Structure 1
Amino acid sequence: MEHIYSDFYKQPVKITERKPDVLGVVLHDDAENYQAKDYIDWLKKRITNHELEKGWACVYVDMHTCYWFHPSEYTEWHCGNTFANTHYIGIERCQSKINGVLNDKAFMRNEEASFKIAALLLKKYQLPVNRQTVRLHKEFFETECPARAWSIHLGNVKTNQENIEKLKDYFIERIKSYDNYSSEKTLDIIG
């Protein structure tokens, strides 16, 4: 997987303040057809147009690329919820538009890449992989996100705590499968 880093990794000036602490990750589905590399220009336009308040995550992932937009220890605007933004790392899974450019099988390869990144981030911050550290956007904000994953893994079921936990348990199982994926070298790539 190719890892690309924005200029925020090279410069001392960051968009936001440091998070008081990192409690885990939030897995998002972007509901777009964009690849991770497409977010490079997309986010540059948001900066140019002074539109970052519309939202952004730490990292954008597809099966080939991981675009690290902003260092993970800094507050993001990914959940529409202050607590989540200041305590959780946003992982945006790309090309998740339902009936978009990817069929379900192809999207699940992007999803697997996001699980690897989640495993690395949780290991970096020495956090366990559980229901408190692996979160869904819809736990913090009224949204369908992660809509594509919800559709694939749960079908057309209503949003309730039981179904949220079912999807989280699937994510947790997949993230745990990458527990041995990390080494000192792989942890060095984490933004």
Structure 2
Amino acid sequence: MSICGGIAGRRGHSPKGIFIHNDAGGQFLDANYWANALAGGEHSLGNGFAHYYVDQNTIRQVEDDVNCAWHCGQEDSNMNYLSMEICQSMGLKDTFLANEERGLQLAAELCKKYGITPNESTIRLHQEVFATACPHRSVELHGGPKACKEYFIRRIKELMNNVNETQKQGANGRREVTMMCLYTIDGKGPVIFFDGKEFHPLSHPDEVTILNKIYKDNNGKDLPCYSWSSKAPWYARLQAAVKRTQK
């Protein structure tokens, strides 16, 4: 039994598409907060709810896919579309963008599951059908409603095609795969930065901070960081593989 218990009715057929919302919540209003607030009655179901609440670490489904949700204030949209709230949209930019990326990953998974082709009629913004700014933060960060919707559709298609999150479009139109990471060995010594070709010991914590910030601004997620043991020397295997490919 879902938290919302089918209160908005049963759809009776596969969803036509997905509405993407922003929660208008602050930095501490993550997916668990909203699910718990709905379950505990702090947020009345009658005031609206989505199927999913998403942050970068957690996805909380509060209504089953086969049921409707009161998420749009418009009957066709409530009846025929799945919905998700991207959480913490009034919080920190980096946090919100990471949450949004996780939501787009979920949208890609749902599109695959239900045979939905991402396009103008299947990937929707709340403001298309109701007098609201929602999804306000996404629209602001992606250059307006039209550009935001185009970004959502494009990114969902990429994720459906299993494009790695760390791939970016190069100036020559080709895909450039980023293999950068940080790692430590036995928790001792310097943090090592691997830039995809060479290994660089870092000498100051601020170096880790700035490298991670640049990577996250470009890729929407933290730079991968590993803690490897000398008993299972994966760092040595990585170094050997890189040196071998350079010959």
Interval containing the TM-score (normalised by the shorter chain): 0.7 to 0.9
Taking the aligned partners of 2:40 and 2:45, their CA distance within structure 1 comes to 9
TM alignment of 1:1-191, pairs within 5 A: 7-8=1-2, 14-21=6-13, 22-33=15-26, 34-46=29-41, 51-97=44-90, 100=91, 102=92, 104-154=93-143, 163-181=144-162
Distance 2:160 2:48 in 1: 30
Q: Give the percent of matched residue pairs that are identical in Structure 1 and Structure 2.
A: 36
CA contact (8 A) 1:20 1:87 kept: no
Between the aligned partners of 2:68 and 2:99, the Cα distance in structure 1 is 24
**Distance in 1 separating the partners of 2:118 and 2:40:** 35
**Structure 2 unaligned residues grouped into runs of 5+:** 163-247
* Bigger strand share: 2
> Matched residues in 2 for 1:40 and 1:86: separation?
21
Distance in 1 between residues matched to 2:89 and 2:145, nearest whole Å: 18
* Cα distance per residue 1:102-139 (max 9 Å; x no partner): 2x222111110000010111111111011111000000
Counterparts of 1:44 and 1:66, CA distance in 2: 15
Q: What do you get for the CA RMSD once the two structures are aligned?
A: 1.9
Larger Rg: 2
Q: Which amino acid aligns with 2:32?
A: K
Residues in 2 aligned to 1:175 and 1:110: alpha-carbon distance in whole angstroms: 14
SS of the equivalent of 1:120 reads helix
Determine the C-alpha separation between the residues in 1 that align with 2:6 and 2:95. 34
**Residues 24, 87 of structure 1: 8 Å contact kept:** yes
Shift of residue 20 of structure 1?
A: 4.2
Amino acid corresponding to residue 14 of structure 1 in structure 2: G
Query: Residue 60 of structure 1 aligns to a residue in which SS?
Result: strand
User: 8 Å contact 1:131–1:165 — kept in the other structure?
Assistant: no
SS, match of residue 37 in structure 1: helix
Q: Which amino acid aligns with 1:19?
A: R
Counterparts of 1:170 and 1:180, CA distance in 2: 15
Gaps of 5+ in 1: 1-6, 155-162, 182-191
> Cα offset for 1:40?
2.2
Tell whether the 8 Å contact from 2:53 to 2:61 is kept in structure 1 after alignment: yes
Q: Distance in 2 between matches of 1:178 and 1:106?
A: 20
Does the 8 Å contact 2:6/2:68 carry over to 1? Answer: no
Could you list the per-position Cα deviations for residues 15-44 of structure 1 after superposition, in whole angstroms to 9, with x for gaps in the alignment?
232214411000000010211011122102
For residue 56 of structure 1, report the CA deviation from its aligned partner: 0.4
Task: Give the Cα separation in 2 of the matches to 1:164 and 1:110.
Answer: 19
